[in-house]
């Protein structure tokens, strides 16, 4: 890796660390430059706008999420539903432990900006979920993309409500497992071990 690429990667790495430690409000170009040990103008050489730097940091989040999902799937049983459970737990777990990153990854302005193809960065995960849904519900009543989309929306919404504390306030429950089970049952049907009655 040449010096330019090394510094670019370092700025993103510092941004990821700062985001985890202090949240997205701390992500200024000046603060990232200071913590990276470079002049406050140096980031502009690689990231002409603040939005482009935030997009690079968010893209690192998609890479980290993909790695966590991959690890979860490697440890999961081979059955499609068990793999969907593992993917769902990894997704909502990432949201809970990396809240700032999770919020940044799905910020409307970043997704709309088109920097680094950020909107497309989540497509491999969605395709994976769609494939698993197709295997779990062969010949299901609707296209697997629709079921996967609704499942993703429910998981994402549950993760956000939980991060904000709204889900706990409304239900009095802090354990996400019953909510995950309910989401999967609602969109995939009962597990073969569940009593459908």
Q: Residue 121 in contact with residue 146, Cβ under 8 Å?
A: no
Give the chain's mean pLDDT: 88
CA atoms of 135 and 129, how far apart (whole Å) = 10
pLDDT of residue 12: 92
Pick from 141, 47, 177, 155: which is nearest to 15 by CA? Answer: 47
140 or 150, which is more confident:
150
pLDDT (tens digit per residue) in 85-123: 999 999 999 999 999 999 999 888 877 777 777 888 888
CA atoms of 137 and 164, how far apart (whole Å) = 33
- Predicted structure pTM score: 0.88
Rounded to an integer, the average pLDDT of 173-184 is 92
In this model, does residue 28 exceed pLDDT 90?
no
Spell out the alpha helix ranges (H) of 37-176: 43-46, 50-75, 80-97, 99-105, 108-113, 118-121, 123-136, 144-164, 166-171
135-167 burial, b for 16+ CB within 10 Å, e for fewer? ebbeeeeeebeebbbebbebbeebbbbbbeeeb
What percent of the chain is predicted at pLDDT more than 90?
Answer: 57
pLDDT of residue 51: 87
154 or 115, which is more confident:
154
Rounded to an integer, the average pLDDT of 115-135 is 89
In this model, does residue 68 exceed pLDDT 70?
yes
pLDDT of residue 141: 79
């Amino acid at each position: 890796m040449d010096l330019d690429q090394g510094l670019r990667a370092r700025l993103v790495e510092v941004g990821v660390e700062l985001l985890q430690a202090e949240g997205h409000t701390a992500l200024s170009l000046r603060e990232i430059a200071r913590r990276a040990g470079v002049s406050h103008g140096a980031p502009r050489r690689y990231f002409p706008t603040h939005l482009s730097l935030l997009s690079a940091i968010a893209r690192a989040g998609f890479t980290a999420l993909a790695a966590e999902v991959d690890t979860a799937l490697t440890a999961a049983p081979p059955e499609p539903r068990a793999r969907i459970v593992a993917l769902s737990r990894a997704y909502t777990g990432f949201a809970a432990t990396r809240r700032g990153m999770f919020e940044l990854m799905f910020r409307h302005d970043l997704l709309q900006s088109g920097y680094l193809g950020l909107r497309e960065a989540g497509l491999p995960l969605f395709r994976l979920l769609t494939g698993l849904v197709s295997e779990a519900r062969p010949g299901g009543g609707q296209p697997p993309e629709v079921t996967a989309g609704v499942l993703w929306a429910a998981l994402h919404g549950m993760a956000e409500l939980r991060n904000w504390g709204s889900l706990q306030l409304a239900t009095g429950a802090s354990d996400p497992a019953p909510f995950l089970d309910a989401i999967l049952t609602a969109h995939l049907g009962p597990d073969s071990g569940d009593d459908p009655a």
